[in-house]
Amino acid sequence: MNQESCIAILAPGLLGGSLALAIQETLPKATLHVWARRAEALDEVRARVPRAICTTDIATAVGGATLAILCMPVPHMRAAAQQIASVPVSSQLIVTDVGSVKGSVMTGVAPLLAEQGISFIGSHPMAGSHATGMAAARADLFEKAACLLTPEENTPATALGRLRAFWTALGCRVLEMSPAEHDRAVARISHLPHAMAVLTTLAALAPDPAVLACSAGGFRDTTRVAAGDPAMWTGILRDNRTEVTAALRDAASGLSRLLEMLDQPDDTALLQFLTRAKSLRDLLPPPGTSAPEIRPNSIE
């Protein structure tokens, strides 16, 4: 059961704004603070989340909070953590984030807070959109989404339990893994697909965008995420480049094999290749059904 009495959302973009909306609907007893660097960014929060106490002052935002959620892009999290570490906070405060890469957060952000005795545990709700900002925020964004928590060996069990309860209350399926396991898994399931959508878009349209007149649902879906925010994705791909590069090299090797099969041509090999991909893709249950029964421990 969620125990947080005061939750601070830092940076109300798509994820932060959706969190504020979800908390407003789902956790009616918790006090809700929303911080933004620019006062204008709070106007839409006030309109859509009347319960939120809005501020541009980090001390006000985290003062009294039991949970503070960093929702800014990963490169800006360090500055926010420095500010949190320099103001008075509750002894109960847990800081988490919603960033897509955990290695860089654990080395760049967590130690700044640990020096002040503040617990940091990484969170990564696997929810989002190619759209950005509070305007695209939705109260149900996290429902049925996987949320990956990345505790370390010295993470207090009570803090981890509270964070698990918070995300569960918002409707997430919570999985736990180390920061390194996280970065390896999301490189494959999220960062690689993003990079491939970008490559598909460029190879499909760069020679002549007029082919768009012939497009159908396949092109639309396969490339949807390539419309995502380039600055945000530059940060993600760069921060997780070791794992992303490994995944992309596997894709490059598959691409070479596919080109060989077509050059031959080798119908038997091609059929096997496509059949193998289909059998893997068919492991994903249809939308709206429950998640695949695969335990997080098996992610290695």
Q: Which of residues 156-175 bind its own copies (CB under 8 A)?
A: 175
| Site membership for its own copies, residue 135 (CB under 8 A) | no
Least distance between its own copies and beta carbon 123 (Å): 13
Q: How far is the CB of 126 from its own copies (least distance, A)?
A: 4
Q: 140 CB contacts (<8 Å, ≥6 apart)?
A: 22, 171
Shortest Å, Cβ 296 to its own copies: 6
Provide the total of helices (H) and of strands (E) in the chain, helices listed first: 13, 9
**Residues between 208 and 267 that touch its own copies (CB under 8 A):** 208-228, 230-231, 233-234, 237-238, 241, 244-245, 247-252, 254-256, 258-259, 262-263, 265, 267
Residue 26 is given by DSSP the state H
| Residue 31 region by backbone torsions, left for phi larger than 0, else alpha for psi between -120 and 50, else beta | beta
List 27, 65, 121, 198, residue binding its own copies (CB under 8 A): 198
277 binds its own copies (CB under 8 A): yes
Q: Which of 165, 179, 169 is nearest to 94 (CA)?
A: 165
* Residues written for the chain: 300
Closer to its own copies by Cβ: residue 45 or 149? 149
Shortest spacing between CB 62 and its own copies, in angstroms = 29
The reply to whether 290 sits near its own copies by the rule CB under 8 A is no
Amino acid making up residue 156? P
Residue among 53, 114, 126, 165 that touches its own copies (CB under 8 A): 126
- Report residue 253: phi and psi, to 5°: -70, -40
Which amino acid appears at position 116 of this protein? Answer: Q
DSSP 289: S
Among 16, 128, 151, 179, indicate the residue that binds its own copies (CB under 8 A): 128
